[in-house]
Structure 1
């Protein structure tokens, strides 16, 4: 967090605050890492001025499902055909990771994500082979300047987890005590209990109740049909658990999630390319479940949340159109509630929705006075902002190359296209060394 006063001037400000709305020529005043004022014509003689004229200013993107440890394997799974390919070709490489490799992979992935506009990420670390693996991952997070929830993964072979569960949970408690409970801290502790695909309800109960006792945000992989119902029947379903994927969720299960105020972390590109059912995103949103977005595995998807926005909107749009055709409503025509999805709604998935899912809605997710100054500045040159809703431009006309600046907690982590605190050559060498040993 910075104590400096910074005044971002003259930008097209997309606040995603329902009361403030969009400001065609707006300013954001920042003090002590927080947003102090948002409006037009703000002047402050003591503030450092950042001219955002001709650019978009918006909240930072929030990734609710990212496996950072997979960064050295980026591209390895680009042509995967279903889960069996992933299990046979990618996931077994986890056993080769040393503790120091976890530091390198986590650090380089976080920096890549940060430079690409992800100011907050839930790092689902399902490669905690030893306590040192967890410690090295957490050490990396302390250095990046990215806001992160470190999701300590209780994932592994069933017999191994049974033997190690108690010690792992003790480490989680120690890490949580070290990090503290301040919701505005850059690094917070989380827990990723074992999925019912590989674990048991009994084992999951121990982990969830332990995490809940510490007040930790939690996340699980939810891949198999009927798992949400089983978790509900066990009395474990609550808004502090973010299921990831849930492509096989029934409408009844989505109703259970909605009743609990739950969210889902959809990793749209990876799920779509893996052949999974994509109707669930729209069904979940219509049912009142809080949709959020994640990149998932860098081994098969680029660490780029702007791409996830576009993928999600286009796929949801296509699914709606397909439903209309199947119901005999063709050619397409507007009617009440159709189309349901808009680019702005999808942008909210990766900002205000994600902040709420992480229990951080009072601190991040919109450009609201009092919240943390986590934001992006997007270039729109040489052609300017696309016509219509400026959120359309962000979702459908922007890419990572347009990200001029990234701020977290009032500190510029990227400014005018450069990350001044990062040695890019060293970063490349670090990643390359691990990749060469693991993959090449």
Structure 2
């Protein structure tokens, strides 16, 4: 692979020692960043002119069900979890292994196009061994960095009966999937939901994952589960809980003590009518939050939107506390406001890298790190004044993604995908829809 020199960008390194660098260069060799600074030599390197652009670590999504990409819009009018189970989750049974391959590929291409270089694919649609195999093959085609979280939640009424073959397939995949942190596709485990599987099955899955050294994630949607897992000795830094809306403050302390992060999916949680106060409560306790899209059947594959919404949820919660204390109009004093735009960029870079088990080598623009990078044009008009991180969080969107680099390889340049085809991704989506809905696409009930 020819070395790459990115020349003249405003670099948001997200590295405490390096900070932000103006008109700076980044050199990439053999998939890693080898130098960050000014006036770097371009000997033997392909030069990418980035003057006027923002360079930042590739965005990392820590919770998306990528098989739902072709269902985009089907969940637009959903109202609560009953709608989700009826109109989206129930379609798992109709997805074939070929559908999984097409859906995973199409979703991965769109995520890369939008600057999401790494995703935790919480694949809770492994309805047969072939479903997992074809999904992994599709991930390998896109060039996106993926933690494929093998879903242990099959048909709810067959969990016990099917548990054996799922456990065995995870063992088999662990023997064949690379464990190298630089691998483009790594294996993890999406644990069966505790409320469906019960603690005995859940414990077996955690013990298997730890035996194999696989990171884990699970849906935490029911009150009291963190206390239950703590009592069972199952909490640990290799476990990523998602949502956590009903979690108590005392349970947040247990999560922090165990070294866990938390993945929030703010648009999805607002859409489901869930209490979003957990985002601010976790932020205050120094837990390392990260963000995910969750359900592309309803929510755009866009981490910029997730950052914006989360920032305003944090600010709204803090303002409500100030008003409740009689402090109105708002006034600054030490420690308030707590949430800053840069925190949200940390959520989808350094924090998210830790969440997917790559905190030492991903999520920063620093020598030795994996070269997963995004270049943003500041838009058709003038860029924001002040903190460039605030521009990324509050002003930017997928339309500003100029170039995407994963593992040192250019996947998008000058707004154009390389070695990938948007038409091919659209065709894959159409194939899934035609197989699922041969007559017409059903719609949710209108009000």
Q: TM-score, normalised by structure 2?
A: 0.96
Residue matched to 1:178: 176
Deviation for aligned residue 1:238: 0.8
Q: What secondary structure is seen at the aligned counterpart in 2 of 1:324?
A: helix
Residue matched to 1:294: 292
Residue matched to 2:436: 438
* Partner Cα separation in structure 1 for residue 65 and residue 267 of structure 2: 15
Stretch moving more, 389-398 or 429-438: 429-438
**Contact residue 176 and residue 188 of structure 1 kept, 8 A:** no
Aligned equivalent of 2:54, options 28, 53, 56: 56
Deviation for aligned residue 1:198: 1.1
Stretch moving more, 88-97 or 401-410: 88-97
Residue matched to 1:374: 372
Deviation for aligned residue 1:278: 1.1
**Contact residue 109 and residue 425 of structure 2 kept, 8 A:** no
Residue matched to 1:150: 148
User: Aligned runs of 1:202-241 on 2, under 5 Å?
Assistant: 202-241=200-239
Deviation for aligned residue 1:190: 0.2
* Partner Cα separation in structure 2 for residue 229 and residue 9 of structure 1: 50
Deviation for aligned residue 1:157: 3.5
* Partner Cα separation in structure 1 for residue 418 and residue 58 of structure 2: 19
User: Aligned runs of 1:69-148 on 2, under 5 Å?
Assistant: 69-148=67-146
Stretch moving more, 282-291 or 370-379: 282-291
Q: What secondary structure is seen at the aligned counterpart in 2 of 1:407?
A: strand
Aligned equivalent of 1:331, options 329, 332, 336: 329
Deviation for aligned residue 1:296: 0.2
* Partner Cα separation in structure 1 for residue 397 and residue 71 of structure 2: 23
Q: Deviations over 1:407-438 (max 9, x none)?
A: 00000111111112123223212211211332
* Partner Cα separation in structure 2 for residue 177 and residue 123 of structure 1: 20
* Partner Cα separation in structure 2 for residue 321 and residue 276 of structure 1: 19
Residue matched to 2:417: 419
**Contact residue 410 and residue 418 of structure 2 kept, 8 A:** no
Q: What secondary structure is seen at the aligned counterpart in 2 of 1:198?
A: helix
* Partner Cα separation in structure 2 for residue 347 and residue 425 of structure 1: 31
Q: Deviations over 1:42-72 (max 9, x none)?
A: 1222111100000000000000001000111
Residue matched to 1:246: 244
Q: Which runs of 5+ in 1 are unaligned?
A: none
* Partner Cα separation in structure 2 for residue 138 and residue 398 of structure 1: 31
Q: TM-score, normalised by structure 1?
A: 0.98
Aligned equivalent of 2:339, options 338, 341, 346: 341
* Partner Cα separation in structure 2 for residue 224 and residue 253 of structure 1: 12
Deviation for aligned residue 1:186: 0.5
Q: Deviations over 1:92-149 (max 9, x none)?
A: 1111101100000000001100110110000000000000111111110111100000
Deviation for aligned residue 1:158: 4.2
**1:410 aligned onto 2:408:** yes
Stretch moving more, 155-164 or 191-200: 155-164
User: Aligned runs of 1:242-391 on 2, under 5 Å?
Assistant: 242-391=240-389
* Partner Cα separation in structure 1 for residue 114 and residue 379 of structure 2: 18
User: Aligned runs of 1:151-170 on 2, under 5 Å?
Assistant: 151-170=149-168
Residue matched to 1:196: 194
* Partner Cα separation in structure 1 for residue 425 and residue 278 of structure 2: 38
The total of aligned residue pairs comes to 438
Deviation beyond 4 Å, 4+ runs, structure 1? none
* Partner Cα separation in structure 2 for residue 120 and residue 428 of structure 1: 21
* Partner Cα separation in structure 2 for residue 157 and residue 372 of structure 1: 38
Deviation for aligned residue 1:397: 0.6
